[in-house]
Amino acid sequence: MGFFTDTSVCIGCKACEVACKEWNAIPADGLELTGMSYDNTGGLGADTWRHVAFVEQRVPADVDVFTAARDLAAEPPGGELRWLMSSDVCKHCTHAACLDVCPTGSLFRTEFGTVVVQEDICNGCGYCVPACPYGVIDQRREDGRAWKCTLCYDRLGVGMEPACAKACPTESIQFGPLDELRERAAGRVAALHATGVTDARLYGADPQDGVGGDGAFFLLLDEPEVYGLPPDPVVTTRDLPAMWRHAAAAAVSLAALAAVSFARGPR
């Protein structure tokens, strides 16, 4: 089970943010202006499990940043401002690095294929924070424990959909079996292309990508970097097996050398 977020119909209402906080009893945040349009949370974190990004574009995304900054005050051709809005969330990776590095088993894979933190057995080591290729997981300052989206695990267990998807008025956030969502998303991209929206693309829907596909994937209208997403995410623990093999080989070699030295030494 997972999420398909169609950013082409997101209106930035933040109903998902509010519903997530209310259902999961997440502490308040985002009470200060960030200077990033109407974005008052800034990004995902321990107290922000859903984050609605507002991207204002007056110039193409590939324009030099200094040129863009200089031209922001000028009206672009046609005098229009483009807003890209997207509700971001934990991706619930198929190959989740946070699971690999957690020493206590606090992070686990549920029967729905999602990744959940059991905060009651989290020891606050923080290993999962740098392991996440998306920078999703964060620790609370009060106790150091890790927190993130659970995809409303408690609601799924009783046949309910996640609070954010339930509250979304435009069905930008859709919940269901991933195979069905991927098929629906491919159809949506094809429909947008047919109407001339050629920049529409899927992000995180490919099971062959660097994290084995995301349990929460997106339809974007620009490059992933524009939305603050990594273009080619890779599971950060992919090299651990090879590293352990090399370390074991080195340890065996050192032990063999020590044994030979001891055997040849003076008696």
List, for residues 208-228, the tens digit of each pLDDT value: 887 888 889 999 999 999 998
Q: Which amino acid is at 104?
A: T
pLDDT tens-place string over residues 90-107: 999 988 899 889 999 999
Other Cβ atoms within 10 Å of 109 Cβ, number:
13
- The phi, psi pair for 156, rounded to 5°, reads -60, -35
**Distance, CA of 263 to CA of 27 (rounded, Å):** 65
Q: What is the pLDDT of residue 242?
A: 55
The half-sphere exposure of 58 on its side-chain side, counting CA atoms within 13 A, is: 13
Q: What is the pLDDT of residue 119?
A: 86
Task: Using a pLDDT cut of 90, give the percent of the chain over it.
Answer: 49
Q: What is the pLDDT of residue 208?
A: 84
Q: Shortest CA distance to 224 belongs to which of 133, 138, 95?
A: 133
Question: Low-confidence residues of the chain, pLDDT below 70?
Answer: 30, 59-80, 238-252, 264-267
**Distance, CA of 96 to CA of 215 (rounded, Å):** 10
Q: Shortest CA distance to 217 belongs to which of 209, 12, 72, 104?
A: 209
Reading phi first (left if > 0) and then psi (alpha if -120 to 50, else beta), residue 236 is in: alpha
**Looking at the chain, how many residues does it have?**
267
H or E element, residue 88: strand 82-88
- The phi, psi pair for 223, rounded to 5°, reads -60, 150
Q: Shortest CA distance to 206 belongs to which of 176, 185, 237, 225?
A: 185
Q: What is the pLDDT of residue 213?
A: 84
Q: What is the pLDDT of residue 246?
A: 47
**Distance, CA of 140 to CA of 264 (rounded, Å):** 57
Q: What is the pLDDT of residue 241?
A: 57
**Distance, CA of 112 to CA of 201 (rounded, Å):** 26
Token pair for residue 63?
């324009």
